[in-house]
Amino acid sequence: MLRARSSLEAHLYMDLHPCECGSTDFDRRHRLEQRGEDIVAVYEGPCRECGRNRNFTFLMADEIPPPPPAFGGAAPSEIIDPGEFAEVAHRISRQVGLNLLNSPNSEHRAYRGAMAYALAAFEEIPKFIPEGLNAVPASAFTSDVGRARYEREPAKFDRDILEMDIDLGRKILADIDTVSPPLGESGSRG
């Protein structure tokens, strides 16, 4: 059974595993079940594209998950590999960057949630680096998407590069907060 550290991680897993028709969009009905000593989250519903029933069952981690947008605690994911997290993080942060460049500062707040999500995905990747190593090992990439990303850019999984990606994400969030603060807060609205 799939073990999820949080509901956010479960949702990302479902997003990364499309229906046979290729769509990831389905009407997710959710319920929790007690199975022995375990809490299990069940998501099911019809695919919006082809109507096939989709069903995912996750054993939920015992520890209380950190608040969103974090995907889990200090341990690495057991269901999403570092290449999948990198794919999501880079895709979303690239789109956010384009949106920020093409919108006035006063509208940047609208992209904060997406950037925070991308940063949370970036922050997951170093969790796959074993003690004493400075890069994610090739063996950590277990999905087709993850292996392909690693084969294209193995240096992107070095600790130093990952820390630069994380630092850049944090700076972008800080900039959003500065130029486009929530209503009622002041900031420089250049």
State the pTM of this model: 0.93
Distance in angstroms (rounded) separating the CA atoms of residues 102 and 94: 13
pLDDT of residue 81: 98
pLDDT mean over 126-148:
98
Q: Is the pLDDT of residue 95 over 90?
A: yes
Q: What is the percent of the chain with per-residue pLDDT over 70, rounded to a whole number?
A: 96
d(CA 188, CA 142): 45
Provide the sign of the torsion angle of the four alpha carbons 22, 13, 113, 163, taken in this order: negative
Under the banding of pLDDT at 50, 70 and 90, the label for residue 190 is very low
CA distances from 88 to 55, 177, 181 (A): 22, 23, 26
> According to the model, what pLDDT value does residue 185 have?
65
Residue 182: predicted pLDDT = 82
Extract the tokens encoding 156. Answer: 């992107």
Tens digit of each residue's pLDDT (9 = 90 or more) over 28-53:
999 999 999 999 999 999 999 999 99
Instruction: State mean pLDDT over 4-8.
Output: 96
Q: What is the mean pLDDT of the chain?
A: 95
| CA distances from residue 184 to 2, 131, 162, 176, 188 in whole angstroms, order as listed | 43, 45, 35, 15, 13
E-strand ranges in the chain read: 2-4, 29-35, 38-46, 53-60
CA distances (Å), 108 to each of 156, 175, 181, in order? Answer: 28, 9, 9
The pLDDT of residue 189 = 43
Q: Is the pLDDT of residue 186 over 90?
A: no
Question: pLDDT (tens digit, 9 = 90+) per residue, 49-78?
Answer: 999 999 999 999 988 999 999 999 999 999
- 110 CB burial (10 A radius; 0-12, 13-18, 19+): middle
Instruction: Provide the 10 A C-beta neighbour count for residue 32.
Output: 10
Domains by residue range for the chain, with CATH = 2-60 (2.20.25), 82-179 (no CATH)
